[in-house]
């Protein structure tokens, strides 16, 4: 039989060395079958939300495009929350979806036998923030698929429309393979701007108490090394945004996360700071308490994206450039002038930071799961990735669970806050690096939405430890209703036994209460996953954080 475009698309995927994710669908299942025949690993989810999320998680944690194949219409829209989440995170992802045969596209769409599945997929994809690649004819289908993968590798999510008649057409030429481009470089930083920042850092009157802030745009080992050296030269306290958590772990001047999740010690140090040097951080209201944490400090903003400057905070100086490059240039400038200052790193400040780290987040465990999470942090494999779903549990999951280095943490709370979306991302992260245990922290509301794909964890034996913070409610909504003086019963649900449900789907499940000795619940081997820990927690214990979020959102 002659090769078809379906075979060519499968050949492109095989040549890329990538796995494929999806849910079988009549229009596109031939691609997955042809890819499997070429040795491409395939991971089939129970729901498209999980399938798209798995591609997203694979992309985030591997740095390579995640490819997901779904059906047109409901197959595509089922995964829409996960697609928007991926787009907002600039995750490298390619969604291949079926499309109407060419003769029926446009005015004749309503005459197709399955016209009920028709929806403007291109328009929806564009509104979701994705690029659209249309495989309009057999001659250009495979080159366009190659281009879609190459575009996704630069951080632009792509939706590929694959008309069924094009897929079944004869393949006119060899498929070709993608050549992975580097993500677009911002270019060399402006030398005058770098000099101006270096000059400011040398001024004792301007840089007595500097704070160096690293955000999502500064997550790389090279950037962490350069920023640490810069911080040491100017005597800066080192802090991060939530997305860059633990980037400076082990540094004596590590102040942890800045913003709504910071310790009282870090908050006080930030308020007294006279200069904030921000690398790859948006400086959004959650990081700055709506600007209050910056006090009267001068702000120097370094970012590869010039649109970040002034979006939330107007900087005194702005430098467009890669975080590692700009930090290294500043170190070189200060080294040439032999500049070194104690700055904010006096012995009392370093002692205060050390005490804050030893004390954790400084809040008691009121049955909300902090104690369980701290115990798990000590027991889980050190080599781990942590994924946190949106919800009331996010603040203490993010502060109680450590990660070993850059790029090992993700939370949907900063992307689209789509409850339940983190489940697929965690599964994809485990596929990206199965030697690492992935820890997913999710609420009972999100877990109830993702229940079918617990079986996916079992089927592929994915090393995921699912920690369900089970308060029998949508906890964030309970707290917000209480704060508004309204009845909270609409946000409370009957308690589910997730441990039993997990076992029925082939995943080991255990129940954990605040009084449980977590070390007795699961062995070290079981704590590599797949495993579900159903943690019974109290609701309403994060009212202070909910009140703050409400104020900042007005």
How high is the mean pLDDT in each 10-residue block of the chain (554 residues)? 89 96 94 96 98 98 97 96 96 95 69 73 96 94 94 95 94 80 73 96 95 96 96 97 95 95 93 97 92 90 94 95 96 96 96 88 62 91 95 89 93 93 98 97 96 98 96 87 89 94 97 84 90 87 54 56
How far is 291 from 287, CA to CA, in rounded Å?
8
For residue 523, what pLDDT is reported? 87
Q: How far is CA 192 from CA 177, 188, 195, 316, in A?
A: 42, 11, 5, 14
Question: How many other β-carbons are positioned within 10 Å of the β-carbon of residue 246?
Answer: 19
Q: Measure the CA–CA gap between 474 and 478, rounded to whole angstroms.
A: 6
| Domain pair 5-167 / 191-359, same fold | yes
Return the CATH class of domain 370-552.
alpha beta
Q: To 5 degrees, how large is the angle CA 494–CA 499–CA 502?
A: 105
Classify 70 as helix, strand or coil.
strand
CATH code matching the domain that covers 191-359, chosen among 3.30.230.10, 1.10.3720.10, 3.40.50.1220, 3.30.428.10: 3.40.50.1220
- CB count within 10 Å of CB 553 equals 9
Q: What's phi and psi for 344, nearest 5 deg?
A: -90, -5
Which pTM was predicted?
Answer: 0.93
Instruction: Dig out the tokens for 35 from the structure.
Output: 């890819």
Helices (H), 96-172: 121-127, 138-152, 164-167
Contact 282, 260 (CB under 8 A): no
| 387: β partners | 410, 440
**Burial label, 494 (beta-carbon count in 10 A; 0-12, 13-18, 19+):** exposed
Q: Is the peptide bond before 530 cis (omega within 30 degrees of 0)?
A: yes
The b-or-e profile of 49-69 (16+ CB within 10 A means b, else e) is bbbbbbbbbbbbbbebbbbbb
Alpha helices (runs of H) in 401-522, residue ranges in sequence order: 422-432, 444-450, 454-460, 475-483, 498-504, 518-521
Token readout for 549 is 């979020």
Question: CB of 434 within 8 A of CB of 484?
Answer: no
| Residue the block writes with tokens 């590869």 | 304
d(CA 492, CA 443): 13
144: buried, middle or exposed (CB in 10 Å: 19+, 13-18, 0-12)? buried
Q: What tokens were used for 468? A: 């369900």
CATH of the structural domain 5-167, one choice from 3.30.830.10, 3.40.50.970, 3.40.50.1780, 3.40.190.10: 3.40.50.970
Name, in order, each residue with C-beta under 8 angstroms of 138's C-beta and a sequence gap of 6 or more: 5, 166, 169, 170, 171, 172
């Amino acid at each position: 039989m002659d090769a078809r475009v379906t075979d060519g698309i499968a050949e492109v995927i095989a040549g890329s060395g990538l796995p494929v994710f999806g849910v079988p669908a009549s229009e596109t299942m031939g691609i997955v079958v042809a890819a499997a025949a070429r040795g491409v690993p395939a991971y089939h989810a129970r729901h498209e939300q999980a399938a798209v999320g798995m591609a997203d998680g694979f992309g985030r944690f591997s740095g390579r495009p995640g490819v997901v194949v779904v059906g047109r219409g409901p197959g595509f829209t089922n995964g829409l929350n996960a697609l928007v989440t991926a787009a907002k995170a600039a995750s490298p992802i390619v969604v291949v979806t079926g499309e109407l045969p060419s003769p029926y596209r446009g005015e004749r769409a309503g005459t197709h036998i399955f016209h009920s599945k028709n929806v403007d997929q291109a328009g929806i994809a564009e509104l979701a923030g994705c690029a659209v690649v249309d495989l309009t004819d057999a001659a250009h289908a495979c080159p366009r698929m190659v281009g879609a993968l190459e575009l996704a590798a630069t951080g632009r999510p792509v939706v590929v429309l694959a008309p069924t008649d094009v897929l079944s057409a004869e393949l006119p030429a060899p498929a070709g393979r993608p050549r992975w481009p580097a993500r677009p470089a911002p270019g060399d930083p402006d030398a005058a701007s770098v000099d101006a920042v270096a000059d400011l850092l040398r001024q004792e009157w301007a840089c007595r108490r500097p704070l160096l802030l690293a955000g999502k745009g500064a997550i790389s080992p090279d950037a962490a090394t350069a920023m640490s050296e810069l911080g040491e030269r100017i005597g800066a306290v080192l802090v991060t945004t939530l997305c860059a958590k633990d980037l400076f772990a082990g540094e004596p001047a590590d102040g942890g996360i800045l913003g709504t999740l910071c310790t009282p010690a870090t908050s006080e140090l930030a308020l007294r700071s006279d200069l904030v040097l921000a690398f790859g951080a948006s400086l959004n209201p959650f990081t700055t308490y709506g600007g209050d944490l910056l006090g009267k400090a001068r702000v120097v903003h370094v970012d590869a994206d010039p649109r970040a400057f002034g979006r939330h905070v107007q900087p005194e100086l702005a430098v467009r450039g890669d975080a590692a490059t700009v930090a290294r240039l500043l170190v070189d400038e200060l080294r040439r002038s032999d500049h070194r200052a104690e700055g904010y790193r006096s012995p009392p400040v370093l002692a205060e930071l050390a005490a804050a780290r030893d004390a954790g987040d400084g809040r008691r465990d009121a049955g909300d799961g902090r104690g369980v999470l701290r115990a798990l942090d000590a027991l889980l494999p050190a080599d781990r990735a942590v994924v946190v779903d949106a919800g009331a549990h996010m603040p203490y999951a993010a502060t109680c669970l450590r990660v070993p280095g850059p790029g090992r943490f993700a939370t949907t709370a900063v992307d689209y806050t789509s409850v339940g979306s983190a489940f697929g991302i965690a599964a994809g992260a485990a596929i990206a690096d199965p030697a690492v245990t992935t820890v997913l922290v999710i609420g009972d509301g999100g877990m109830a939405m993702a229940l079918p794909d617990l079986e996916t964890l079992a089927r592929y034996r994915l090393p995921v430890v699912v920690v369900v913070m089970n308060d029998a409610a949508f906890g964030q909504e309970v707290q917000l209703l209480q704060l508004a003086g309204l009845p909270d019963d609409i946000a409370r649900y009957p308690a589910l036994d997730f441990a039993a449900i997990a076992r029925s789907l082939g995943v080991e499940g255990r129940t954990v209460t605040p009084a449980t000795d977590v070390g007795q619940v699961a062995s070290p081997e079981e704590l590599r996953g797949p495993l579900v820990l159903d943690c019974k927690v109290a609701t309403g214990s994060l009212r202070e954080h909910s009140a703050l979020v409400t104020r900042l959102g007005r």
